[in-house]
Amino acid sequence: MTRIAFITGATSGIGRATAIKFAENGYNLILCGRRAEKLEELKNSLPETVKTHSLVFDVRNRQEVELQINSLPNEWKNIDILVNSAGNAHGLSSIDNGDIEDWDAMIDGNVKGLLYVSRAIIPQMVEKKKGHIINLSSVAGKQTYANGTVYCASKKAVEAISEGMRLDLTQHGIKITNIAPGAVETEFSEVRFKGDKEKAQKVYEGYEPLLPQDIADLIFYTINAPDRVTIADVTIYSKSQSAPTMIYKK
Where do contacts with ligand 8X3 occur on this chain (CB under 6 A)? Answer: 138-140, 182-183, 244
Residue 141 C-beta: closest distance to ligand 8X3, Å: 8
Sequence-distant (≥ 6) Cβ neighbours of residue 207 within 8 angstroms: 238, 240, 241, 247, 248, 249, 250
Catalytically annotated residue among 27, 116, 151, 204: 151
- CB-nearer residue toward ligand 8X3: 170 or 242: 242
Look up 145 and say whether it is catalytic.
no
Sequence-distant (≥ 6) Cβ neighbours of residue 70 within 8 angstroms: 120
C-alpha 158: how far from its chain's center?
Answer: 10
User: Closest Cα partner for 39 from 81, 62, 79, 68?
Assistant: 68
Residue 161 C-beta: closest distance to ligand 8X3, Å: 16
- CB-nearer residue toward ligand 8X3: 29 or 140: 140
- CB-nearer residue toward ligand 8X3: 20 or 183: 183
Strand order of the β-sheet with 52-56 is: 52-56, 28-33, 4-7, 81-84, 131-136, 174-181, 233-236
- CB-nearer residue toward ligand 8X3: 39 or 139: 139
Q: Is the dihedral of CA 149, 87, 180, 155 positive or negative?
A: positive
Distance CA 148, CA 203 (A): 15
Residue 233 C-beta: closest distance to ligand 8X3, Å: 15
Residue 19 C-beta: closest distance to ligand 8X3, Å: 19
Single-letter code of the amino acid located at 232? A
The residue at minimum Cβ distance from ligand 8X3 is 138
Residue 188 C-beta: closest distance to ligand 8X3, Å: 6
Burial of 68 per CB tally in 10 Å (0-12, 13-18, 19+)? middle
Computed on alpha carbons and rounded to an integer, the radius of gyration of the chain in Å comes to 17
Catalytically active residues, by annotation: 151
